[in-house]
A and B are shown apart, each in its own frame.
Chain A
Amino acid sequence: MADKSKDVSSIYSPIAKMNLRTKTLLTIGLTVFILVAVVITSLFINSADITTNFNAMNQAPSFEHLFGTDWMGRDMFTRTMKGLGLSVQIGAGASILSSVIAIILAFVGSINSKLDSFIAWLVDLFLSVPHILLIILISIGLGGGAFGVTMGVALTHWTSLTRILRAEIKQINTSEFVKLSQRFGKSKIWIAKKHILPLVITQIIVGTILIFPHAIMHEASVTFLGFGLSPHEPAIGIILSESMKYLATGNWWLALFPGLALLIIVLLFDIAGENIKKLLDPTSANE
């Protein structure tokens, strides 16, 4: 009876009643909902509609302008939302592309040992050069802009996923059922499709989602440094680098809110990724 107060709270708290699976699902649902909402909102914002208002320059956050206004009187909330949407889109493009690269390389590596060691060497090579440098080089090489950044990020983020997939595939290739299929004369492609792919699909999905935060961060950093998107696009990196000019005059809101928003988006992707991993690969939930 002494524990009654505890029991009361747990009976009336719906979250406490859920099992881990439901909680995971709920977390995934919520994060995905927010992310989708951000992207959809940003799609409805036309950059041409983020108009200047020189009567409302450099205003601190208020209910009218949640994130304040910039030096041309533009509403920072709208600009930030648009920028986040842009970041997520570029992140999506880059993540999917780099996953595709990772998948292709991992499967190519399983064909023979020479190719395999070549790919292992390639992974080491790319990992040994700092990401940001490579991204800047590739981005400039491809003429900058959204295309340059997307390719830059995509061509540098496939390494870790390739490593994981390569290890997995190696392990699967040594298993009994693969050996059996081989003896039955099944082709390598058949084995890859029927035996390997279903077993690594979890890794691919989780891997892709977990590249997202990196991709978004790197896009923002490269753009911030001036090697990414053009300066008239409302990307988060642009907003942050512009805000640097006005921090000296005390306009802290120009950097704080867009920066925090970026951080939250990245965190959300991370949470979503980790939870999806728990769901698809239950053994990892015990790690």
Chain B
Amino acid sequence: MDQKYIIGIIAVLLIAVIGGALFMSGSGTPARADNELVVAAFSHGGEPEAGFDPMYGWGDRGEPLIQSTLMKMNRNMTYQNDLATSWKANDDFTEYTVNIRDGVKFTDNTTLDAEDVAFSYNQAKTTGEAVDLSTMDNATAVDKNTVKFTLNKPDSTFSDKLLYVGIVPSDSYNNETYGTNPVGSGPFKFVQWDKGQQVILEKNPDYYGKQPEFDKLTILFQQNEASFNSAKNHELDIAAVPLAYANETIDGYHAFLSESLDVRGISLPVQNNTGETNEDGVALGNNITADKSIREALNYGISRENISKGALNGVGVPNYDGISHLLPWYNKEAAIKDGDIDKAKDILKKGGWEDTDGDGIVEKDGVKASINLYYPSDASERQAIAVAVAEQAKEIGIEVNATGSNWDEMDTIKFTDPIVWGFGSTDPITMWGEYYSDQAGVGYNNPALVNNSAVDAHIDKAMSEPREASYAEWSDVSWDGTTGISPKGDAAWLWVSEIRYTYFVDDSLDISEDTFKLQPHGGDAFGNIYDWTRVSSLNETS
């Protein structure tokens, strides 16, 4: 008899779920006041596991809110002083000196001085969980208002590191408790963290910079459909949603498709899998993608335009080298005429790959051109890219098995199998991590195992040139006329498309789209929170 119960229960559940979804129209009234913000938009809803500790990565790609940073970056990619009043580097970019503001207080009423800055940077380097400080030897406080950073090699991108380390109080910092009870000098102060749910922040009245208009900021850790639903119920001001929802509409909200520096691409390991492993014992190399004709065929055969239009809902921008077109070191020469199936087939044929058994998939020396392509299954845009690439690759005779997975699983195959990655930031050092030969197989760096001495030389040279003058050199990493990582060169990756970040914003709120920060991979929406204003009362709009 009991299967009848199960069937009954399932039937009721099914009807309830569908009924609930259909009738769940946005009829709620906002429970927040006009001077309060409720958002589900921190790094697309992900919760920082280690809490709000900059030493463990909080704010390393965006605005730490609770803490302040030495500098900020404007939308047009110029630096703006924050805690710093001025900075300079020596001629060969091995020593940086930063002067900081006087009289800045932490929210526990202690004074922030150069000691705290030096401590924060040294600590962040020790944990290794924050922004990459591998070129920094140490930071020292010269006097109360001056910090000196000594580097172990020339690095003109180090000025970008001044953007992404929130400063913590050296006297009271404790790496075990700080994350859950942070003290800082930023525009907001910490009130309460309900793990798995939300964090509540309050305006910091002693903040030295431009005061935000809002007295309270609640960040909900809701992702995907959960934040979309909350927006439908008018429970929040900003909801970050997956790209797949970009064409939806919600009453009382407008969709905001923020441009981002985030590029989606597929690593195609250039090395053979010879059984070699990295320090952590993760295997390196892939015997199919190590064949250059496979990598080239994919790069020329796949139509990025189709994927940008279809899989990415029409808001993708085709990309060939992982450098967003918004960056000053964007390289136009990296672009190729793709979607060319005949050319791709021709490349395969010349490379010795032919379909001998008539199954539509090419072989060489008895090995089928078959690769697995992994994507994290909770990222729908990566899934769409993987599936679309798999379908297009089939037409040129390469079998791509799009496989949904999670990072625990992918960590064991990240250097052997192609993965749909996301990379991109305003800091050109990203390219060092992605392509420098000695970074192959380190952490998440250089998953395609690029090993090209010309690329290394360009990166080394760029790091020893002044930042703005180095842009041309960074471009050359992609394609310098003879070699590079882009399709015309090593074709080490199959870069597909830049994506946009999709937000639904309450009509009563103006988030100042003109000053909205360029979003790096994993960035958050708070970069210009100082400019946000409530343009109409919440009760009028709903």
Contact = CB atoms under 8 A, between A and B. Distances in A.
Interface string A231-255: 1100000000000111111101001
Which of A51, A232, A248 has most B Cβ within 10 Å? A248
Contacts of A244: 17, 225
Contact of B405 (A54, A72, A230, A263): A230
Contacts of B388: 52, 54
Contacts of B21: 247-248, 250, 252, 255
B399 to A, nearest CB: 9
Interface in A43-59: 48, 51-52, 54-55
B3 A214 contact: yes
Contacts of A246: 225, 244
Interface string A215-233: 0010000000000001110
B41 interface: no
A72 B311 contact: yes
A213 B248 CA distance: 38
B31 interface: no
Given A51-B391, A232-B402, A71 B18 contact: no
A124 to B, nearest CB: 17
Interface in B26-53: none
A249 B394 contact: no
B22 A52 contact: no
A183 to B, nearest CB: 41
Given A232-B403, A250-B22, A263-B11, A245 B225 contact: yes
B228 interface: yes
A259 interface: yes
Interface string A26-56: 0000000000000000000000100110110
Interface in B387-407: 387-388, 391, 394, 402-405
A54 B4 CA distance: 40
A125 interface: no
Contacts, number: 86
A153 B309 CA distance: 43
A273 to B, nearest CB: 9
Contacts of B224: 245
Contacts of B403: 230, 232
A54 B10 contact: no
A286 to B, nearest CB: 17
Most buried by A among B3, B6, B229: B3
Contact of A217 (B6, B225, B377, B394): B6
Interface string B358-394: 0000000000000000000100100010011001001
Interface string B310-329: 11000000000000000000
The number of chain A residues touching the other chain, given as a range, is: 20 to 34
A25 B536 CA distance: 71
B311 A231 contact: no
B57 to A, nearest CB: 26
Contact of B229 (A55, A217, A232, A248): A248
B498 to A, nearest CB: 18
Contact of A214 (B6, B248, B387, B405): B6
Contacts of A267: 7
Contact of A249 (B7, B228, B311, B405): B228
Contact of B245 (A232, A249, A252, A262): A249
B14 interface: yes
A260 interface: yes
Contacts of A256: 14, 18
Nearest to A54: B310
Contacts of B311: 52, 54, 72
A231 B7 contact: no
B10 A213 contact: no
Contacts of B394: 48
The DSSP consensus for interface residues of chain B is helix
B309 to A, nearest CB: 7
Given A232-B377, A252-B18, A72 B384 contact: yes
B216 interface: no
B interface, how many residues as a size bin?
Answer: 35 or more
A52 B402 contact: no
Contacts of A247: 17-18, 21, 225
Name the residue among A52, A210, A232, A256 with the largest chain B CB count within 10 angstroms: A232
A214 B3 CA distance: 7
A259 B15 CA distance: 10
A54 B309 contact: yes
A266 interface: yes
Nearest to A73: B310
A214 B6 CA distance: 8
B229 A230 contact: no
B232 interface: yes
A270 interface: yes
Nearest to A262: B10
A72 B228 contact: no
Given A72-B387, A232-B403, A270 B18 contact: no
Interface centre among B14, B229, B384, B394 (most CB of A within 10 A): B14
Interface in B74-108: none
Interface in A160-197: none
B6 A249 contact: no
Contact of A231 (B4, B225, B377): B377
Contact of A71 (B10, B229, B244): B244
A52 B309 CA distance: 13
Nearest to B374: A232
A160 to B, nearest CB: 9
Contacts of A217: 6, 10
A143 to B, nearest CB: 10
A270 B10 CA distance: 15
A129 to B, nearest CB: 16
Interface string A259-283: 1101100110010000000000000
A52 B387 contact: yes
A255 B402 contact: no
Contacts of A213: 3, 6-7
Given A217-B10, A230-B404, A232-B377, A248 B225 contact: yes
Contacts of B11: 263
A206 B276 CA distance: 55
Contacts of B22: 250, 252
A259 B402 contact: no
Contacts of A55: 310
A35 B41 CA distance: 47
Nearest to B391: A51
A260 B309 CA distance: 33
Chain A CB within 10 Å — which of B11, B242, B310 has the most?
B310
A52 B17 contact: no
A256 B248 CA distance: 21
A286 B24 CA distance: 48
A272 to B, nearest CB: 12
Contacts of A54: 309-311, 388
Given A52-B384, A210-B3, A232-B404, 8 more contacts: A52-B391, A71-B380, A230-B404, A230-B405, A231-B377, A246-B244, A256-B14, A270-B4
* Nearest 6 interchain pairs by C-beta: A54-B310, A231-B404, A247-B21, A231-B377, A232-B404, A259-B14
Interface of A: 48, 51-52, 54-55, 71-73, 210, 213-214, 217, 230-232, 244-250, 252, 255-256, 259-260, 262-263, 266-267, 270
8 contacts: A52-B384, A245-B242, A246-B225, A246-B244, A252-B21, A255-B21, A260-B14, A263-B14
